[in-house]
Amino acid sequence: MKKFLKISAVILFMSFIMTPVNGQWKKLAKKDLNAWEQLNGTAPFILEKGVVVGTTVLNSPNSFLCTKEKYGDFILEFDTWFDPQMNSGVQFRSESKPDYQNGRVHGYQVELDPSERAWSGGIYDEARRGWLYSLDKNPEGKKALKVGEWNHYRIEATGSSIRTWVNGIPCADLVDAMTPSGFIALQVHSIGKDESKVGLQVKWKKIRIMTTNLEKYRTPYSPLIPQVSFLDNTLTEREKAEGWKLLFDGKTSNRWMNARTKAFPANGWEIKDGVLSVNPATKKTGGGGDIVTVDKYSNFELIVDFMYDTGGNGGIKYFVDTEIDNGAIASIGCEYQILDDRNHPDAKAGINGNRTLAGLYDLITPKNKRDNGADKWNRAIIKVNGNKVQHWLNDNLTVEYERSTPAWRELVATSKFKNSPGFGEVKEGRILLQDHGDVVSFKNIKIKEIK
């Protein structure tokens, strides 16, 4: 803790001495709001003595006050106050297009969150991929917001790097290249039909942006908080330094093989446009099948971006032993379930939803689930440290358990794996991508072994 505060103090001091002169900054809200336009909702925005005030109204979708100008690389700062009963956000590199959900505003949003969750400064992908960077992995960042007071935000977006600070505390370190530029927008969140929340306010002041000489004035990089990258099949320099390795390079199948034949399938799987997919349309008799990693793993953190078709069913398995019983049960292992819960009947099978997306298949029901839905990318994270295991979906922890305990064995004894001796208790195993006969796609598959 003391080390973190010392480093933060250094960063804050460096930021102070490098603060640009006023001529480098452009004020975004001056005497009026002529440089802005309102999209989507009907919540009113007014400018009072340099303060933009947004107020909640009934029966309106999210309301956005958007800059008419678009910005790519920039440093953005603003002060904000918002009623503790509501959350809000500020969009950046965002868009509104007639052919995308009828003009719905979408893109990156820095969060304003007064709840106990405390994700202020996190990055949400509005109307697209959901949470990209929550603060569950950044406990110091969760303490940055002063609920019910004015708070200072800073966003630095340069190339694929997006970093945020709240009151000088680093909150998010995201690497993503989906949208290189777009407008900035102030959000008043929808309250639906909740009359008790009519008239709640969110305020912004001292909104300013810098678009030149960014290398001179951006905060020097330091790995103070976890970095999250969504670059397609590419490792950042920091990921390389931390020991991450790609299990799929977007072009070849070198690190994968059929679970039984030990060769990559000649058909039934395809690699196209940087995506590895189960494709039943290409499967011939005897083709396809589950694929596993060439290497075995014990303690690790695995990241996989996946997408399922409507009604799709698949899975990511781990602790898979392809040699046991001469390969007779080569595809048995603990499974991070991939399923279209809305349209596949398996979602209602099992016990209390223990066969649904992001759960431990047939064993543990997932919680806190945020599913982006069919035909959209989701991110799975599986963390294994000794016998302790976690499942994450779109930066939300959904499953946590400990294997090789009496409670674990009792759980297995009531599942479909009750006749698999020692299920889930091998010290190391392969990682498996399941061919369940449906179209399921994967990319950005990377792993870091924990020593």
Mean pLDDT of 330-345: 94
> Would 2-229 and 237-449 be classified into the same CATH topology?
yes
At 307, which amino acid appears? Answer: M
pLDDT of residue 324: 73
What percent of the chain lies above the pLDDT cut of 70? 94
Cβ(19)–Cβ(12) below 8 Å: no
**With respect to CATH, is domain 2-229 assigned 2.40.50.140?**
no
Whether residue 7 is predicted with pLDDT greater than 90 in this model: the reply is: no
pLDDT of residue 285: 79
Gyration radius from the chain CA atoms:
24
Task: List pLDDT tens digits, range 431-449.
Answer: 999 999 999 999 999 999 9
Which CATH number is 237-449 given?
A: 2.60.120.560
Give dist(CA 72, CA 180) in Å, integer: 6
Dump the DSSP string for 319-336.
EE-SSGGGGTTTT-SEEE
Domain boundaries, given as residue ranges, for the chain: 2-229, 237-449
Whether residue 9 is predicted with pLDDT greater than 70 in this model: the reply is: no
Task: List pLDDT tens digits, range 69-124.
Answer: 999 999 999 999 999 999 999 999 999 999 999 999 999 999 999 999 999 999 99
Whether residue 17 is predicted with pLDDT greater than 60 in this model: the reply is: no
Dump the DSSP string for 128-197.
TTEEEE-STT-TTGGG---TTS-EEEEEEEETTEEEEEETTEEEEEEE--S-S-BEEEEEE---TT-GGG
Dump the DSSP string for 431-444.
EEE---SS-EEEEE
Give dist(CA 403, CA 397) in Å, integer: 17
